Chains A and B, each alone.
Chain A
Amino acid sequence: MPFLHITTRIEDRKHDELLFDLEENSFPSFLVLDAGGGVLARHREPATAGAFKITLKKVERSIALRKQAAGGDRNARIDLALLECELGRIDLADLEEVLEPLGKLGAAQQRLFLGLAADETVSEMIPMIRRGRFSAEILADVGESFFEHYEQGGVPAARRHQHAYWLGLAYFAAGRKDTALLDRCLEELEPIAARNTFVKQLRAELARTRQALEQK
C-alpha cells in the first residue's frame, strides 16, 4: 500500500520525525515497512517503477524465506541474511556475524556475498569519485580497491554501483597496462554506456587508451 510521509518541521505534528526515527536522513527516501512499522527494505536503486517492483519482489521473497528460516532451514537462513543485506536491513558486518555459524556458503551464495562486499566498498568510494568529478586519477585510485574485490570474484550486486565499479577498474587497468582486464571492463561498460551518455564518453576515452596500448 502506498504511504506518503512529508516531513514538515511543524512543531508537535504527529510522526513528523518518522523518517529520522527509521534511521534515514535524506530526501526523498523510499522504505518498505511491515504493519508494525519495521523496516523491510531501504530502496537505494533509482526511483523508477521497474526498480520499485524489483525491491518489492525481493521483500516478498524475504518474507517467504523468514518462514522457512524459522523452521530451521540452514540454506534459507543464509539466503535470508544475504537478502536482508541486499535490502539494507543489515550491514555487511552484521551479515558476517549471522553467516559465521552457518558454515560454508553455496557457490551462488558466495557470489552474492562477495558482491555485497564489493557494494560496500563502492558505496564508500562514491563520495570521493563525485568530489573528484570522475577524474581518471581518482577513478584509477578507487579502482585499486575495487580490484581487490575483482580478484576474489566480487562484482557489485547493486545495479547502481556497476558503472563506478567498472569505470574504476578500467582506469586502474589502463594505468597498469592490463589489457585483459581493460577489455573485460569495456565489455561490461558497453550496455551501461548505451543508457548513460557520461559513461559513454568515458568508455570511448578508455577504448582509445586500449587501442594505444595495442599499438605499443
Chain B
Amino acid sequence: MPRIAFVLFLAAVCRAQSPSPSTMEERLAKKLAKPFVKKVAWVLDYDAARKQAKQTGKVIFGYFTRSYAP
C-alpha cells in the first residue's frame, strides 16, 4: 500500500512539473519570434523543404534547435 501511494505521489509531482501544452506552444512562439528566424528565409515545414529540394535540385541545409529549453 505505501508503495502504491508513493508511485501516485511521484506521478503527481511529475505531472505538476511537466509544462502544460499551452506553455509549450508559447515557448515555440517565443522561439519563432527571435531575430535569427526573421533574418533568414527559413523553410519551417519539413515536407515543404523536401518538396522544394526536389523541385529545385538543391540540398536542404537543416538547422535543428529546440523551444522547450534554452
Contact = CB atoms under 8 A, between A and B. Distances in A.
Contact of A5 (B27, B46, B56, B68): B46
Nearest to A43: B61
Contacts of A33: 49-50, 53, 59-60, 62
Interface residues of B, number: 33
Contacts, number: 110
Contact of A4 (B27, B42, B52, B69): B42
B60 A1 contact: yes
Contacts of B37: 4
Given A3-B42, A4-B42, A8-B24, A34 B53 contact: yes
B13 to A, nearest CB: 18
Interface string B51-70: 01110101111111111110
Contact of A52 (B41, B46, B50, B61): B61
Contacts of B40: 2, 4
Interface in B3-20: none
Contacts of A34: 53, 59-60
Contact of B64 (A1, A19, A40): A19
A5 B27 CA distance: 14
B32 A6 contact: yes
B59 to A, nearest CB: 5
**Chain A at the B interface: SS class:** mixed
A37 interface: yes
Given A1-B49, A35-B53, A10 B28 contact: yes
Contacts of A56: 59, 61
B63 A3 contact: yes
Contact of B43 (A2, A19, A27): A2
Interface of A: 1-11, 14-15, 18-19, 24, 27-37, 40, 52, 56, 59
Given A2-B42, A29-B64, A35-B50, 8 more contacts: A1-B53, A5-B63, A6-B44, A6-B66, A10-B21, A33-B49, A34-B53, A52-B61
Interface of B: 21, 24-25, 27-28, 31-32, 37, 40-44, 46-47, 49-50, 52-54, 56, 58-69
